[in-house]
């Protein structure tokens, strides 16, 4: 468990961090543990990606080809560190297509926000576009790299070494180069 985690009872775990409080049911944490076992990530940690979908506003979309380049380079540099992609009901086709190009990625599909928070809490690193998953990553204090289009990072992320931002100069997330993302990952 991460610093700031308090076990309230046998059924709830409470994160209290910098004024943020997040209750996660024990059932969600148990689900995340089982999911990590299913994915084979319980011993290794994992990079978690929330890629979004092509149904987002155009300024927020990060292209599949760019995610593919990032994933392939991460797998080349750290072949033993699994990469897990979050799939929700709006991005099934996007994730399937990504998996077709990157067959070694693992897919998780949390059914609710508490399970999403729990699986994010177990990640070594979260890569995300501007999304609710990004905010959950902040709440559970997972090391995070946010890919932002026109959003103001000062309004989305607290000032911390744990939360890094790559902001597009054009306000289009798609204009962030995979090379820039990779440099941020390896500079850590």
- The residue ranges of DSSP E strands in 87-124, in sequence order, are 106-108
Tens of pLDDT along 42-73?
999 999 999 987 677 878 889 999 999 999 99
- The residue among 89, 103, 98 whose CA lies nearest residue 63 is 98
pLDDT digits (tens, 9 = 90+) for 147-185: 999 889 998 899 999 999 999 999 999 999 999 999 999
DSSP reduced 3-state for 98? helix
The tally of domains found in the chain comes to 1
In a domain, 54, yes or no: yes
pLDDT at 17: 46
Nearest alpha-carbon partner for 104 in 183, 142, 47: 47
Answer yes or no: is pLDDT of 123 > 60: yes
Provide the total of helices (H) and of strands (E) in the chain, helices listed first: 7, 9
Residue 94 covered by a domain: yes
pTM to 2 decimal places: 0.88
Whichever domain contains 76, its CATH number is 3.40.50.2000
């Amino acid at each position: 468990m991460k610093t700031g985690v308090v076990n309230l009872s046998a059924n709830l775990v409470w994160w209290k961090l910098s004024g943020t409080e997040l209750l996660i049911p024990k059932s969600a944490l148990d689900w995340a543990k089982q999911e990590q076992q299913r994915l084979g990530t319980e011993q290794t940690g994992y990079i978690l990606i929330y890629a979004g979908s092509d149904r987002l506003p155009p300024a927020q979309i990060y292209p599949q080809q760019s995610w593919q380049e990032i994933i392939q380079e991460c797998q080349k540099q750290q072949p033993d560190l699994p990469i897990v992609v979050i799939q929700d009901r709006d991005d099934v086709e996007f994730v399937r297509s990504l998996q077709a190009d990157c067959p070694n990625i693992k897919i998780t599909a949390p059914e609710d926000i508490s399970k999403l928070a729990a699986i994010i809490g177990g990640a070594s690193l979260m890569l995300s576009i501007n999304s609710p998953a990004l905010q959950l990553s902040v709440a559970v204090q997972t090391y995070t790299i946010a890919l932002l289009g026109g959003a103001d990072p000062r309004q989305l992320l607290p000032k911390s070494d744990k939360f890094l931002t790559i902001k597009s100069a054009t306000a289009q997330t798609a204009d962030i180069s995979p090379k820039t993302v990779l440099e941020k990952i390896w500079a850590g």
